[in-house]
Amino acid sequence: MSNAYLSRIGHDGPVAADLRTLEALTYAHATTIPFENLDPFSGVPVDLDTLREKLVHRHRGGYCFEHNRLLKSALDEIGFTTTGLQARVVWGGSDDDVTPRAHKLLHVDVAGAPYVTDVGFGAMTLTAPLRVEPDVEQETPHGVFRLLHAESPLGAWRQQVRLRGEWRTTYRFDLTPAFPVDDEAPNWFLSTSPKSHFVRGLTAARPTRDGQRLALAGRSFTAYASDGTPDRREIDTLAELRTVLTDDFLIELPAGIDDTLKRLF
């Protein structure tokens, strides 16, 4: 188990292939390493072979293919049985929207019990693993989630989060294993295609250890309370944007990033 990774996420407790460790690492990772797309927005393709250097040693963040591949590596080193999965994101749309399998999450076996965990879903990133069991409300440090099951070509499982009394679907998935080679095409599209929202605009997110969720979309910065109530403000200057990225999202900004950020103004 990499001491550098544990130090990066601030975990100083014991590690073992058990539920307590899975919960601790999911929470520590999600609240420490931010979701961000500075590389695609800057025209730099995401290299999955160097994600440990980027996320651990350079104190950067990333998106789902980076976050969940890094967490999978750590869990595998501990002795968990893990499998990569891919999902169709429908957040902000209809449950039956036909979207590509362009999101990565993890299936984790814990003493024969199946769980999913996902530290790379932006503003709705999980901070606790979910038991793969249908129609059960599952409390996490950042909201109540559930998984619904019904056979569908779009994915038999739906993940939902309850926001201000309403259940909203984040994505659809099935339990078919996705191997590292399966990540390459969607990762390349997301980080290089002019059609990708990660290339077209700036985004960042991080759940905090006081129960908030922070989200940045362009120059719009929102802090969501534990019940989902938003506190939103517009960022007016480059200096303020840099401060938000470093202080709120905990990103060590790369050299030369100001030229990219100025495009937002």
DSSP the chain: --HHHHHHHT--S---SSHHHHHHHHHHHHHHSPEE-HHHHTT----GGGHHIIIIIS---B-HHHHHHHHHHHHHHHT-EEEEEEEEE-TTS-TT----EEEEEEEEEETTEEEEE-S-SGGG--SS-EES-BT--EEETTEEEEEEE---TT-SEEEEEEETTEEEEEEEE------HHHHHHHHHHHHH-TT-HHHHS-EEEEE-TTS-EEEEETTEEEEE-TTS-EEEEE--SHHHHHHIIIIIS---PPTTHHHHHGGG-
Q: How many CB atoms lie within 10 A of CB 163?
A: 15
Could you confirm whether 64 is annotated as catalytic? yes
Out of 11, 103, 107, 142, the active site residue is: 103
Q: Other CB atoms closer than 10 Å to residue 136's CB: what's the count?
A: 12
Please state, in angstroms and rounded to a whole number, the distance separating the CA atoms of residues 131 and 120: 18
Closest by Cα among 89, 9, 75, 44 to 257: 44
Sequence-distant (≥ 6) Cβ neighbours of residue 28 within 8 angstroms: 9, 10, 11
Q: Which of 64, 67, 107, 183 is catalytic?
A: 64
Active site residue ranges = 64, 103, 118
